[in-house]
Chain A
Amino acid sequence: MVALLLDPLAAIGRATLGACRVAGDAALFALEGLSHVLRPPFHFRLFWRAFLEIAWFSLPVVALTAVFTGMVLALQSFTGFARFNAQSAIASVVVISLTRELGPVLAALMVAGRIGASFAAEIGTMRVTDQIDALTTLSTNPMKYLVAPRLLAAIIALPLLVLVADILGVMGGWLIGTFKLGFVSAAYLKSTFDYLQTQDVVSGLVKAAVFGFIIALMGTWCGYRSKGGAQGVGGATTSAVVAASILILALDYILTEIFFAQ
């Protein structure tokens, strides 16, 4: 009887301990990776390659996402706000929801799918084919060579992507506003910028940097710790994307609390 009661407790305890161990391992990995970002020698070539991969090659996906999101936002708020005659607010609604929330979150989720997966697959494959061990025997610290450049590239690239997403999203809203909903172009743009505050944009960019860090961290960490051949690499890839996506949404809430809840 007592055993029956205690068994679930023990299971919960084991799961909690396991989760703590995993979180601790990720945190130590992050700290070591970041410490190599700051300490020479630096691998500029690898940084640049990762940066191009994240910023340039994610641009089409992020741009499309942003344009359509802006368009949908304009349309939705128009039909919704018509119920209480507040259609004039839609330009501000579009720009504020994009810069504060949807720009960073949607761009980050898209990049998590592309980049988190590709980092985990590449580094995971290197792990199971002994390439990471080979780095060590060739006088190269794998954390410095594989992890640090990717972390830094993602932290820098994501805010740039989000800036582009913000602009394109507003443009999408403006397209719908002027060509479909009958707003005067100049008036739409004026009300877009009238209520926009620096804090809206900056908070979004800070979020983007944090999300970039999380994406690169989950990708590199899951890849680095993968074992067991092709199947292990596949598992690492999935975990990297899922973990990054969940952390992005959770951190989005926490960061919003920090920025805006007074």
Chain B
Amino acid sequence: MTEAMAATGRDRAVAAATPKIRVRGLHKAFGPKQVLDGVDLEVLQGHSLVILGGSGSGKSVTIKCILGLIQPDAGVIEIDGQDVLKMKRREREAVADRIGMLFQNGALFDSLPVWENVCFKLLAQKRLTRAAARDKAAEVLEQVGLAASVGELWPAELSGGMQKRVALARAIAAQPDIIFFDEPTTGLDPIMGAVIDGLIVDCVKRLGATAISITHDMASARRIGDSAAMIHKGRIVWTGEARSLGHTGNAMVDQFANGEREGPIQMELRR
């Protein structure tokens, strides 16, 4: 009996040590263009990682690979220690059901009212009736600081900040245990950006979820992230604590964080 207990204890210890998400040697090329050239990432359960990098450096592609929207050319993606690329379609869908995603431009369905957008996943999984979905939508909208009446509006009637909030509500409504945020504050004014960051931190904490966020706003990165990783030319060139951004001692990261023109990163305007 003690042996069995010791075994479960060991399993638990192993489970705790297994990263929630683990990416190894991810490669992806579009035609001749090598976008990902061996990306390695690790996020522990309940942690929040921010990915930094210039635009076009492959941040969104990395996340889309983990989501299963893009098939990588090579590499391993493990979620809870399971290689998702080797899974059968149904297993893969079951994993995807537990992941929430906030797209770069919101990607709200403009043919549906806000409440249906918010509860889309719950309706699709038949966890709610349509009548119950309206109430649930009101509840989730309140969590992101929107009035219940917003649920009756159409996405096109909302301001940029409200659209981001609705997109955030849609990402968290089904209570995922992994959430991705693709540039959640890009295009917002600094105050609204800080508000959205606050909401993201709250929501992730409340769900106890594991999060990966993409941003190139340093203030945002320090607010959202526990740890940070910098991607450059299709590889992760630095990982460390999000708090240390700006004075990491890594020339590349510091150049990026402080927005300096001179440094190891040369902007390639032509490719």
Contacts and interface: CB of A to CB of B under 8 A. Distances in A.
B154 interface: no
Interface string A122-140: 1000100111011011111
Interface string B18-61: 00000000000000000000000000000000000000000000
Interface string B72-111: 0000000000000000000001001101110111011111
A137 B100 contact: yes
Contact of B103 (A130, A139, A140): A130
Nearest to A139: B124
A138 B103 contact: no
B108 to A, nearest CB: 8
B2 interface: no
B105 A137 contact: no
A136 B68 contact: yes
Interface in A127-181: 129-131, 133-134, 136-140
B107 A140 contact: no
Interface residues of A, number: 12
A122 B111 CA distance: 9
A130 B111 CA distance: 14
Contacts of A129: 105, 107
B68 A139 contact: no
B121 interface: yes
A138 B124 contact: yes
B165 interface: no
A133 B109 contact: no
Contacts of B67: 133, 136-137
Given A138-B120, A139-B121, A140-B120, A130 B97 contact: no
Given A133-B69, A137-B96, 16 more contacts: A122-B111, A126-B109, A129-B105, A130-B103, A133-B67, A133-B103, A134-B103, A134-B107, A136-B67, A136-B68, A137-B100, A137-B101, A139-B96, A139-B121, A139-B124, A140-B124
Interface of B: 64, 67-69, 93, 96-97, 99-101, 103-105, 107-111, 120-121, 124-125, 170, 174
Interface of A: 122, 126, 129-131, 133-134, 136-140
